[in-house]
């Protein structure tokens, strides 16, 4: 790791090629840039944590954390997602590699070697004009699938390169020495790819027996077993598949022969005794003559994803039960305030059958002409955000009877904050309304009797002994000027003297 030398724009180089990194650092420092150098993706994240970085240039094939993983890490962190990211690779060079790199949010994909002046110009342009960083990262499962496709392709490429190198070196004088060097280099690269991958890579024979020939050591981290256990026992996989999944797992090889590739999900018994969900992806490899030579596959841990889906389905089921069984009416409206769906309780309030929701039902919900204009205006105010979340209105049931309802409204918005609909809770308060009307009628009747009586009527607060009300006859009988005059006095004022 190197420290900055001045106060210009700062650039982070992530590349395990020390010679190339040193040359690039010298070139950019001569142009006045601050330069940080990292040999691994992990070291690059440490620099990002410690220093302000204006642009990142990264190789792809690096130990500990490769360039793809570094770019993904930056895109997922709000602090770094707006930093321009350039891939500078000499190993991942295909159009598919470039497409995947750009899909991760990188600003440029450059194949090594590139003229230093061209590289300097690209950096200058990006620092001046870059407006990216707002791309939404792929879901984790999609990212891992695309990442592992690139990984397997690179693995196949390295295998082919190794075979070509071996063939070319066999007839040379120092064939053995060069062969060992090439094998060691290829093996180191392969081990790096396998150790840094979140997926388990495996190969099988394509002769009908499908015996495993290789499985990466990170299988132990995933399932708890050593790789050799899979290779030594041909029935090891079959015996550890969940009984409900064995049939589809047994058919996976015939499927891959038909289509060339196949993916499936199943539960595998871990060494801990628990079943874990995995995604198994297989691809049939053929030689130049079209003969099947081997099957290459990968295993991904998807246990948390499956558990999340199960929990989500359980939540939806509970919400559905609440929707169907709650005594409170629930109605969903369109943004134009047209009825979209309702629960059985809402249908019952308006006198309909449980599943009756027709165009006539929508049109009839179900407003007396006398208040129709008022209710429609209230609906428009709710959509415009001018109305509170509670209202009261009168409706008609299916058989034409009036029903008084209390409504509780809540706006539904999409991810951009636009109105997507309205959900309402509705309660039938017809009985309460009738009781309230009766109470008011009785109150009015009592008040009439109270005021028209020729006898003096006075009400007292027993705790304070204060007069709280009186009628006109009381004012006259006690010789007061007005009702307020009487109520301002104490009952003792009217007691006869002892």
The string of pLDDT tens digits covering residues 130-156 is 887 666 777 777 777 877 776 677 666
Percent of the chain with pLDDT over 70: 82
Strand partners, 202: 215, 297
Residue 454 has pLDDT above 60, yes or no: yes
241-255 pLDDT tens trace: 999 999 988 888 888
Answer yes or no: are the C-beta atoms of 28 and 11 closer than 8 Å.
yes
Give, in order, the Cα–Cα distances in Å from 432 to each of 104, 429, 439, 459. Answer: 61, 5, 10, 29
The residue length of the chain stands at 498
Q: Indicate the Cα dihedral angle 58, 59, 60, 63, nearest 10°.
A: -100
Contact 147, 68 (CB under 8 A): yes
* Strand duo 55-58 + 85-89: pairing: parallel
Cβ contacts of 29-32, under 8 Å, gap ≥ 24? 29/5, 31/120, 32/6, 32/8
Residue 376 has pLDDT above 60, yes or no: no
Residue 264 neighbours by CB under 8 Å, 6+ apart: 248, 249, 252, 255, 279, 280
Lowest mean pLDDT among 176-180, 192-196, 248-252, 332-336: 192-196
Residue 196 corresponds to which tokens in the numbers above? 């840094």
Between 408 and 88, the more confident residue is 88
Q: Using CA atoms, how far apart are residues 70 and 89, in angstroms rounded to an integer? A: 14
Report CA Rg, the chain: 40
CB atoms within 10 A of CB 369: 7
Dmax over CA atoms of the chain, in Å, equals 143
Instruction: Yes or no: say if 422 and 382 are a contact pair by the CB < 8 Å rule.
Output: yes
Kindly state the average pLDDT of the residues 160-177: 65
pLDDT at 4: 41
- pLDDT of 270 reads 94
In this predicted structure, the answer to whether residue 267 has a pLDDT above a threshold of 90 is yes
| DSSP reduced 3-state for 80 | coil
Residue 124 clears pLDDT 50, i.e. is over it: yes
Q: Is the peptide bond before 113 cis (omega within 30 degrees of 0)?
A: yes
Confirm if 148 and 197 have CB atoms less than 8 A apart. Answer: yes
- Angle at which helix 175-196 crosses helix 140-169, to 10 degrees, equals 170
pLDDT band per the 50, 70, 90 thresholds, residue 40: very high
In eight-state DSSP terms, residue 241 is B
* pLDDT at 348 exceeding the cut of 50: yes
Are the beta carbons of 468 and 484 closer than 8 angstroms?
Answer: no
DSSP helix, strand, coil percent of the chain (3-state; round to 5): 45, 20, 30
Does 1 score more than 50 pLDDT?
no
Confidence of residue 5 (pLDDT cuts 50, 70, 90): very low
Q: Closest by alpha carbon to 151, among 229, 96, 88, 71? A: 96
Model pTM score? 0.42
Q: Is the pLDDT of residue 383 over 60?
A: no
- Angstrom CA distances, 496 to 401, 458, 491, 492, 493, stand at 60, 17, 11, 9, 8
CA 139 to chain centre: 8
**Mean per-residue pLDDT of the chain:** 82
H or E element at residue 245: none
pLDDT at position 101 over 50: yes
Confidence of residue 357 (pLDDT cuts 50, 70, 90): low
| Highest mean pLDDT out of 184-188, 204-208, 237-241 | 237-241
- b/e map of 237-252 (b: 16 or more CB within 10 Å)? beebbeeebeeebeeb
pLDDT in tens, 403-417: 888 888 777 888 787
Beta bridge partners of 410: 423
Rounded to 5 degrees, φ, ψ at 392 are: -135, 135
End-to-end CA distance of the chain: 107
Give whichever of 155-164, 177-186, 412-421, 458-467 has the largest mean pLDDT. 458-467
Asked if 71 and 106 touch (Cβ cutoff 8 Å), the reply is yes
How far apart are alpha carbons 110 and 119 in whole angstroms? 9
**Buried b or exposed e, range 35-45, using 16+ CB within 10 angstroms:** bbbbbbbbbbb
pLDDT of 194 over the 80 cut: no
């Amino acid at each position: 790791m190197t420290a900055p030398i001045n106060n210009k724009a700062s650039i982070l180089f992530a590349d395990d090629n020390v010679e190339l990194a040193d040359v690039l650092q010298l070139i950019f420092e001569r142009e006045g840039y601050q330069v940080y150098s990292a040999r691994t993706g992990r070291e690059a994240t440490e620099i990002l944590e410690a220093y302000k970085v204006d642009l990142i240039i990264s190789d792809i094939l690096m130990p500990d954390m490769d360039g793809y993983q570094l770019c993904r890490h930056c895109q997922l962190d709000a602090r770094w997602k707006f930093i321009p990211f350039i891939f500078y690779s000499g190993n991942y060079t295909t159009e598919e590699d470039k497409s995947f790199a750009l899909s991760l949010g990188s600003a440029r994909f450059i194949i090594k070697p590139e003229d230093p002046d061209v590289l300097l110009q690209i950096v200058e342009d990006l620092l001046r004009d870059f407006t990216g960083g707002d791309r939404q990262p792929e879901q984790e499962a999609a990212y891992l699938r695309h990442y592992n496709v690139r990984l397997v392709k690179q693995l196949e490429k390295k295998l082919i390169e190794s075979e070509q190198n071996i063939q070319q070196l066999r007839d040379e004088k120092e064939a053995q020495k060069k062969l060992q060097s090439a094998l060691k280099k290829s093996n180191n690269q392969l081990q790096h790819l396998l150790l840094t991958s979140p997926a388990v890579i495996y190969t099988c024979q394509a002769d009908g027996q499908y015996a495993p020939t290789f499985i990466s050591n990170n299988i132990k981290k995933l399932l708890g077993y050593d790789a050799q256990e899979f290779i030594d026992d041909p029935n090891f996989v079959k015996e550890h598949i969940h009984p409900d999944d064995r049939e589809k797992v047994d058919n996976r090889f015939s499927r891959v022969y038909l289509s060339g590739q196949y993916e499936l999900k199943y539960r595998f018994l871990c060494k801990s005794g628990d079943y874990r969900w995995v995604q198994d992806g297989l691809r049939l490899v053929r030689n130049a003559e079209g003969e099947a030579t081997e099957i290459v596959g990968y295993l991904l841990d998807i246990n948390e994803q499956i558990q999340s889906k199960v929990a989500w389905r359980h939540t939806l089921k509970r919400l559905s039960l609440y929707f169907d069984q709650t005594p409170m009416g629930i109605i969903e409206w369109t943004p134009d305030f047209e009825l979209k769906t309702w629960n059985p309780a809402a249908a019952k309030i308006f006198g309909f059958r449980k599943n009756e929701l027709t165009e006539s039902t929508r049109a009839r919900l179900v407003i007396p002409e006398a208040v129709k204009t008022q209710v429609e205006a209230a609906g428009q105010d709710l959509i415009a955000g001018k109305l509170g979340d509670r209202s009261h209105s009168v409706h008609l049931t299916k058989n034409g009877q009036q029903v008084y309802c209390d409504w509780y409204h809540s706006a539904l918005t999409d991810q951009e904050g636009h109105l997507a609909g309205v959900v309402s809770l509705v309660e039938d308060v017809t009985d309460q309304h009738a009781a309230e009307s009766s109470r008011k009628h009785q109150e009015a009747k009592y008040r009439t009797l109270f005021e028209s009586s020729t006898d003096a009527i006075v009400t007292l607060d027993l705790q304070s002994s204060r007069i709280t009300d009186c009628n006109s006859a009381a004012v006259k009988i006690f010789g007061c000027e007005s009702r307020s005059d009487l109520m301002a006095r104490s009952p003792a004022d009217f007691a006869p003297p002892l």
